């Protein structure tokens, strides 16, 4: 393999790795406001089945749990449920479950 051919091959590999990383790094950030006054941000990353929350000034990572009616995440004393219909409920800090809505 010549120097030029090797450089082209390495360049092609780097472009492929970069495009894969950019595609897998796509994410969705959602702002929520709850009936009890709680506000939080939830981040969902492609290829990651966890929910990453910014709640009460702290970062909390929730693991996805089995749910038949949508998605349920738990961890660090926090439970987040999002139904297929888009209804969202949050339980944290030993407070009762509260309904939350997506803020535009």
Instruction: Check: CB of residue 41 under 8 Å from CB of residue 88.
Output: no
pLDDT in tens, 4-44: 544 443 444 333 434 344 444 579 999 999 999 999 999 99
Domain ranges in the chain? 27-103
Q: Give the integer Cα–Cα distance in Å for 80 and 91.
A: 7
Architecture of 27-103 per CATH? Beta Barrel (2.40)
Question: pLDDT tens across 41-67, in order?
Answer: 999 999 999 999 999 999 999 999 999
Rounded CA gap, 71 and 68, in Å?
Answer: 8
How far from the centroid of its chain's Cα atoms is residue 57's Cα? 17
| pTM (predicted TM-score) | 0.74
Report the C-alpha gap between 81 and 91 in whole angstroms. Answer: 9
Q: What is the DSSP letter of 97?
A: P
């Amino acid at each position: 393999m010549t120097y030029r051919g090797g450089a082209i091959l390495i360049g092609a590999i780097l472009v492929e790795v970069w495009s894969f990383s950019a595609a897998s790094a796509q994410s969705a950030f959602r702002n929520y406001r709850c009936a009890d006054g709680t506000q939080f941000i939830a981040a969902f990353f492609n290829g990651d089945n966890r929910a990453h929350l910014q709640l009460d000034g702290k970062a909390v990572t929730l693991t996805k749990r089995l749910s038949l009616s949508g998605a349920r995440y738990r961890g660090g004393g926090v439970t987040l449920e999002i139904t297929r219909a888009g209804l969202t409920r949050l339980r944290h800090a030993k407070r009762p479950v509260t309904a939350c809505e997506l803020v535009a």
